[in-house]
Structures are given as structure tokens and as C-alpha cells.
């Protein structure tokens, strides 16, 4: 692969200098999508739609009037974002949601910037799972080893970026659904602070936990995309106080706090990779035990299931009949949660946020593995680590849910794995609303990882 053209920033530079055109980038992406079709990363992709956008972008560049740095660059979109040129199905057997000429706000902003909306990516049905194995289009396969899962629910986006089909893709994150496939596929994923990025036009899983985010080949790519996520959107009231992307402040010595405790275990392979990466970190590092993890996790699950069932209860019966048995079982379980149980879970959530933000030692970023295991094989139901036998589904969300329950910005970075051939991700979580600060810390950590060869 051409490493420069595999990144968003590299493609933007190639377009600016004229060594590539929007048409050549679109044709390159289409060719790769065809050659890598066995990954099952895309569920809707139309060459004429892609090339029409590319020709329009090429004409703008010929007039020296590109709309932005990303004008003419293909970007893939998860199949739960509304798109005016493709139906949105959430990879369910239920009837598709016809967009009716609508784009999700983030898709609309990217389109206004001239980005080529390349196609719709595979996902775990309704984002209600973290393996990407349950989809009406079949499972997505990991580019590093097709016998393994991508993780989900944004697994198609992870595979599309990791395989080099596109340089960037959109995902959504309720319990790690951007970060999980990013880590499993060896790329970068960013979950914004809750309320910082517009959710309008993104089919909901759990409205108080959901956050859309980008998956990319490097950190500068994330920085290039976040302006299209951030800022007020009158169609999403949770963004009423959202600021546009600001400058990245640099701290002299950022304080990292690594969390550990019962319920935060991982395999020796992952531990070796994370410890090796942290040994080269330029930041101050302190370890801190956190207790009651199982209680906090139960609160996250309760909120997710209750809100998901509430959202889907409004759907017509002819749509719900098309859900997979697994998704239907989740929805039926959520319907059994009482209002008292839901409100109790929200009170536990408030306590959890108090613990993280006020009771822990001073920190600028919390650090954890992104996943406790490397990407499991297709069909594996259980994972063994830390003396535990954990379902593959729960192992995928093992660490990531913390960021959603507290509404924190989160980023996953690929780190070197001296103990195996599959990718390992390291997750940094920042303080609410301080997404720029988190990104700056991640960039500093990344620079040191590269210097010491501790990054993939």
C-alpha cells in the first residue's frame, strides 16, 4: 500500500499538489473495495454515485475553488447514518429507512465540504452488539486475519479503513462501537464528549450514551475531521453548548492515571503491549484502583437496554418482525426494566461521574487497554482472561463502556504487540468537553511511541 495515500492528510496533500485528482482517488477506492469484497465491509456502494461526486469535486479543483481540504476525498459512512443517496437499514432485516433526501447532520457537513460520500458500511444490527457478527448482510471480517471478527458495532467502517479502501469512515459509539473495531483492526478511533457532536440523523441505540465519531489511519486525520462533528446543531438539543473545534493546548507534563481493579482485567498479551507502550510515555503515570466496577457496568447496561427498547417500541410491528432473534431478545429484555430500576441506574451513573471527576487523584487523561483481548475468532462465544470466562460480547465492551457512562471524550491508539500478530489498542479518556486537550495528549503520547518503536 501507498502509506501516504492511505491517510486522509496524505490524500489532501496529494490533491493540493495535483499528484492525485478526486477521480483518481475515487477510482482507487472503488478498485480496492472490489478487490477486498471478501471482507464484507460495505453493504451499499454505487460506482456512478461515487464518480458523479468525484467529477464535481474535480471541476471545483480545476477552477481553484475547492470547498475544503477534504474536497474530493472518499469517506465511508456507517449504515445507521441517514444518507440521501443510499437507504439506511442499520443492517437489519427490518424494512429500510428511506432517507427521503435527508442526510445526517455530520454527513451533510462533510458533503458541503466536498467530501465524497463513498458508501454505507456493515454494522452490528441496530448497533446492538460489539462483534459485528449479527448483520442482515453477514459478518465483517478483520483485514489482519479474516478468520477473526472486527468488533463492532462499527465493524464495517473499521475494516474499510484498516484495509485501505478509504482513509476515513464514520461510526457511532454507545459502549465502544467506534473504539472497539478501531482497536481490533489496528487503527485510530475517537469518541467525542457527549453533546459535543450532533446525533441528528444517526439512528439511536441509547440516546443518553450515543456519540458519533471518526475512524482513521492516524491522529492528524481525526483532527481534520472533528470540525464536521463539533458545534451547535439546532436539530440536536444536546449540542446547545457545543463549541467548534478549538486549538489543541499542550501541557508540559500531562498526568496519566491508569485504572485497574476487579472487572478491569486483560490477557497477558494485552498487558505486555500496554505496559510496554506506557513505559515510553512522556507523561507522568500513576496507577489507581477503582472499585464497584460491576455496579457501574450494570448501570450502563440497564440504561442502554431501557433506552433502546423505548426507542424501538415506537417502530411499526412490520419493521420489528424483521429483527434478528438476538436483537429481538435484547429489546424484550429491555422492556422488562422498570422505571425505578432505570432511575436507580441513572443515580449510580451520577455517582460514577463524581468518582472519576472529583475523587480520583489528579489526572489529565485516564488510560486503559481498549480491549482486554485481541480480536477473537469468528464463532467464538467465550474469552478467558484474568481468571475469568467472559462472553465475547462483554469482552468487547470490557473497558470502553466507562467513557460512555461518564460522557468522556475517548481515543484509541494502536500500540506494538510483541506477544502476537494481532493489533492491540490503548485507550485514553479525557475530561468532559476537553476533547482538544485529550487529542493533544494523544498526539504527544503518539510521538513518543513512534520514537521508541512502541506503535504499530
- CA-nearest of 388, 403, 405, 392 to 301 is 405
CB 175 within 8 A of CB 304: yes
CB 166 within 8 A of CB 29: yes
24 flagged as catalytic:
no
Active-site hit among 7, 177, 208, 242: 177
- CA-nearest of 423, 446, 271, 306 to 365 is 446
78 flagged as catalytic:
yes
Region class of 127: left (phi > 0), else alpha (psi between -120 and 50), else beta? left
- CA-nearest of 11, 18, 10 to 74 is 11
What gap in Å lies between CA 151 and CA 120, rounded to an integer? 17
CB 186 within 8 A of CB 414: yes
What gap in Å lies between CA 240 and CA 190, rounded to an integer? 21
- DSSP labels for 238-250? GGTTPPPP-----
Active-site hit among 7, 36, 78, 208: 78
Angle at 80 between CA 78 and CA 84, to 5 degrees: 90
* Burial zone of 241 (CB within 10 Å; 0-12 exposed, 13-18 middle, 19+ buried): exposed
The secondary structure of residue 424, as a DSSP letter, is E
153 flagged as catalytic:
yes
Q: What's the Cα-to-Cα distance from 58 to each of 7, 54, 73, 207, 218, rounded to whole Å? A: 19, 6, 10, 38, 25
Active-site hit among 92, 133, 153, 193: 153
Number of Cβ atoms within 10 Å of the Cβ of 240: 10
What gap in Å lies between CA 210 and CA 407, rounded to an integer? 9
Q: How far is CA 444 from the centre of its chain?
A: 21
Active site residues: 78, 153, 177
Amino acid at each position: 500500500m501507498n502509506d501516504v495515500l492511505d491517510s486522509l492528510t496524505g490524500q489532501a496533500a496529494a490533491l493540493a499538489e495535483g499528484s492525485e485528482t478526486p477521480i483518481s482517488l475515487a477510482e482507487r477506492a472503488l478498485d480496492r473495495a472490489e478487490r477486498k469484497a471478501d471482507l464484507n465491509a460495505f453493504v451499499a456502494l454505487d460506482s456512478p454515485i461515487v464518480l458523479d461526486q468525484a467529477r464535481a469535486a474535480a471541476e471545483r479543483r480545476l477552477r481553484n475553488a475547492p470547498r475544503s481540504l477534504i474536497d474530493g476525498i472518499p469517506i465511508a459512512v456507517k449504515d445507521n447514518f441517514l444518507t440521501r443517496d443510499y437507504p439506511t437499514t442499520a443492517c437489519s432485516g427490518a424494512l429500510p429507512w428511506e432517507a427521503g433526501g435527508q442526510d445526517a447532520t455530520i454527513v451533510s457537513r462533510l458533503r458541503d465540504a466536498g467530501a465524497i460520500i463513498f458508501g454505507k458500511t456493515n454494522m452490528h444490527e441496530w448497533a446492538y452488539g460489539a462483534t459485528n457478527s449479527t448483520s442482515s448482510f453477514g459478518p465483517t471480517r478483520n483485514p489482519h486475519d479474516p478468520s477473526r471478527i472486527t468488533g463492532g458495532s462499527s465493524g464495517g467502517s473499521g475494516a474499510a479503513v484498516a484495509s485501505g479502501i478509504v482513509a476515513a469512515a464514520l461510526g457511532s459509539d454507545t459502549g465502544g462501537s467506534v473504539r472497539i473495531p478501531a482497536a481490533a483492526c489496528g487503527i485510530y478511533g475517537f469518541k467525542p464528549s457527549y453533546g459535543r457532536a450532533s446525533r441528528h440523523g444517526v439512528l439511536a441505540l441509547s440516546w443518553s450514551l450515543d456519540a458519533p465519531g471518526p475512524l482513521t489511519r492516524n491522529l492528524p486525520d481525526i483532527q481534520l475531521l472533528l470540525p464536521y462533528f463539533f458545534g451547535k446543531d439546532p436539530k440536536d438539543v444536546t449540542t446547545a453548548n457545543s463549541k467548534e473545534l478549538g486549538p489543541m493546548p499542550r501541557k508540559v507534563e500531562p498526568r496519566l492515571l491508569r485504572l485497574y481493579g476487579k472487572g478491569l482485567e486483560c490477557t497477558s498479551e494485552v498487558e505486555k503491549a500496554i505496559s510496554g507502550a506506557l513505559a515510553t510515555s512522556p507523561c507522568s503515570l500513576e496507577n489507581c484502583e477503582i472499585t464497584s466496577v460491576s455496579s457501574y457496568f450494570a448501570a450502563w447496561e440497564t440504561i442502554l437496554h431501557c433506552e433502546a427498547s423505548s426507542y424501538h417500541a415506537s417502530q411499526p410491528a412490520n419493521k420489528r418482525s424483521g429483527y434478528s432473534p438476538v436483537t429481538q431478545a435484547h429489546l424484550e429484555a429491555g422492556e422488562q426494566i422498570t422505571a425505578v430500576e432505570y432511575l436507580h441506574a441513572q443515580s449510580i451513573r451520577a455517582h460514577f461521574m463524581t468518582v472519576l471527576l472529583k475523587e480520583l487523584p489528579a489526572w489529565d487523561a485516564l488510560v486503559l487497554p481498549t480491549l482486554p483481548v485481541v480480536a477473537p475468532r469468528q464463532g467464538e462465544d467465550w474469552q478467558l482472561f484474568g481468571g475469568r470466562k467472559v462472553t465475547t460480547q462483554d469482552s468487547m465492551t470490557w473497558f470502553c463502556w466507562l467513557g460512555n457512562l461518564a460522557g468522556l471524550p475517548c481515543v484509541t491508539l494502536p500500540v506494538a504487540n510483541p506477544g502476537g500478530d494481532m493489533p492491540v489498542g490503548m485507550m485514553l479518556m479525557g475530561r468532559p468537553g476537553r476533547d482538544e486537550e485529550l487529542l493533544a495528549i494523544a498526539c504527544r503520547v503518539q510521538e513518543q511511541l513512534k520514537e521508541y518503536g512502541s506503535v504499530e
